[in-house]
Amino acid sequence: MRDDPSVVALVARAAGSDQDAWNELVERYAPLVWTICTRYRLSSHDIEDVGQNVWLLLVEQLGKLREPAALPGWLATTTSRECLRVVTTAQRTATRLDDAPEFAADVMIDEEILLAERDAALRLAFAELQPSCRQLLGMLISDPPHSYSQISETMGIPMGSIGPRRARCLERLRRSDTLIALGTGGSEINTPGGGPGA
């Protein structure tokens, strides 16, 4: 994933003057920044401050990143550093000190980076599916998931066809270029449900 060409291309375009490329980077990686902030248990006000600083620092660094493919890592490290600054300066009362997050920051950050890359790839692959697959899978992953009878009614398809359609759509998702590119990366991540993103 570290040599994901699309991230490199987005960074290069954003380093020019392409607002769309920048927006895509933000859409893709804002969840990473957000998740790390919530791991540090920051207030929503502090999360906003950290977010501002992280994106501004990135804007400043766009043309200077030595390894644009490693952007998620850069974002995670920068966010973590900004969070730590807020946490450290906020530890002015004993109560807040007691509440200080207890986790191994480095381990957490590595997991968050892998998860963020996987999530971003999955969302991208999902967005590229044909509308009928997006609709079907969207109803299956909604919380709570739609029942087959609800899906049958909404989509106007027979209940018996939902299982095979589901399998076809998931196969298309798996075979998308984005996920195949992801597959060449690390394999250290937990299966869903047990990971830190659960």
Partner 1 sequence: MLDGWDHEQLLAALGEAVRARQAVPDSFIDMGKGAYAWHNIDAELAQLTYDSQRDRHSAAVTRSETASIRALTFTSAHLSLELEVTGSSLLGQIIPLRSGTLEVQTRAGVTTTTPVDEIGCFAIEPIPDGPFRLRCHTADGDDVLTGWITL
| Cα-to-chain-centroid distance, residue 154 | 29
CA distance 95 to 100: 9
Residues 158-187 that bind partner 1 (CB under 8 A): 166-167, 170, 173-174, 179, 182-183, 185-187
Q: Does 36 bind partner 1 (CB under 8 A)?
A: no
58 part of the interface to partner 1, by CB under 8 A: yes
CB of 150 to partner 1, least distance (A): 17
Q: Which stretch binds partner 1 (CB under 8 A): 2-10, 101-109, 116-124, 148-156?
A: 116-124
- Asked if 69 and 4 count as a contact pair (C-beta separation under 8 A), the reply is yes
Nearest distance in Å: CB 100, partner 1 = 14
Considering only the stretches 3-11, 13-21, 64-72, 152-160, report the one whose residues sit in contact with partner 1 under the rule CB under 8 A: 13-21
- Quick one: tokens of 21? 């490329």
Query: Is 197 among the residues that bind partner 1 (CB under 8 A)?
Result: yes
> Closest approach of Cβ 52 to partner 1, in Å?
5
Measured from the CB atom, is 85 or 107 closer to partner 1? Answer: 85
Per CB under 8 A, 193 contacts partner 1: yes
Of 72, 74, 73, 101, the C-alpha closest to 86 is: 101
Q: Does 130 bind partner 1 (CB under 8 A)?
A: no
DSSP 192: T
Q: Which two tokens stand for residue 88?
A: 């450290």
Residue with tokens 């899906």: 151
Pick the closest to residue 135 from 167, 169, 164, 163 (CA basis).
169
